[in-house]
A and B are shown apart, each in its own frame.
Chain A
Amino acid sequence: EVQLVESGGGLVQPGGSLRLSCAASGFTFSSYWMSWVRQAPGKGLEWVANIKQDESEKYYVDSVKGRFTISRDNAKNSLYLQMNSLRVEDTAVYYCARVDTRSYDYWGQGTLVTVSS
């Protein structure tokens, strides 16, 4: 059974940093692109970042470029999102998602990031 379990969310002040993790199991993690998708409270879904299997390609939504870094450790079946210079508008539930057929076929349960003073 495919499982994606996020962790690392919490309350942080504007300008602060957080590192999110996603533990994957039930599939060959190193064979898939992976993504982070976020959802602000009461709002819709927004793609944040993608990473290729070997980390050779990474893509970000414009609003997080230069502040967020996506990475992975295939030996640990883990995906990460380092978030720096956090802003109030980054407040959201962050989902880890597996990429398949130019879509997201599995999602984690999400981890809430709250940026507030």
Chain B
Amino acid sequence: DVVMTQSPLSLPVTLGQPASISCRSSQSLVHSDGNTYLNWFQQRPGQSPRRLIYKVSNRDSGVPDRFSGSGSGTDFTLKISRVEAEDVGVYYCMQGTHWPTWTFGQGTKVEIK
């Protein structure tokens, strides 16, 4: 199975400041169809996960543009340009390239300093 490794696992941030989360995969996430199926999810305290980003850099409907995804191959990044209080929660990367065992990273907990 593809192993997804996130860092850091805990990220204290100051309101209004940027934040960045790294996700690395044990194998390339480039699919035979040419797409890279790397996704990012946000899970606020007490809530279900919500998808933010799909195929590396595509924001889902309703996701603020302060969230952006980038990367290629095995290295990916989620950036929050200016952290707001509502961004507190755990962020997960997930690969959808290697079917059927889609795997998640361990999660990165974002909290306000």
Q: Which residues of A contact B (CB under 8 A)?
A: 44-47, 50, 59, 61, 95, 101-105, 107-110
Most buried by B among A45, A50, A107, A108: A45
A44 to B104, CA, bound (A): 8
Q: Is the CB of A101 within 8 A of B107?
A: no
Does B104 contact A102, Cβ atoms closer than 8 Å? no
A interface footprint on B44-86 (CB within 8 Å = 1, 0 otherwise)? 0000111100110000100000000000000000000000000
Interface of chain B, main secondary structure: loop
Which residues of B come within 8 Å of A, CB atoms? 31, 35, 37, 39, 41, 48-51, 54-55, 60, 92, 94, 96-97, 99-107
Q: Quick check: B102 and A105 within 8 Å, CB to CB?
A: no
| A contact residues around B99 at 8 Å (CB) | 102
| A44-B106, A45-B104 known; A102 vs B51 contact (CB < 8 Å) | no
- A59 and B100 contacting across the interface, CB-CB below 8 Å: yes
Chain B min CB distance to A41 (Å): 13
On whether the beta carbons of A107 and B101 are closer than 8 Å, the reply is no
Closest chain B CB from A8 CB (angstroms) = 17
Give the residue of A44, A103, A107, A110 whose beta carbon is less than 8 angstroms from that of B96. A103
User: How far does the alpha carbon of A108 sit from the alpha carbon of B41 in the complex, in Å?
Assistant: 14
User: Are B94 and A103 within 8 A (Cβ)?
Assistant: yes
Q: A110 to B43: give the CA distance in the assembly, Å.
A: 13
Bound form: Cα–Cα A47–B104 in Å: 8
The smallest C-beta distance from A45 to any residue of chain B, in angstroms, reads 5
Residue contact B96 to A102, C-beta cutoff 8 Å: yes
Whether B54 contacts A103 by the Cβ 8 Å rule is: yes
B100 and A107 contact, CB distance less than 8 A: no
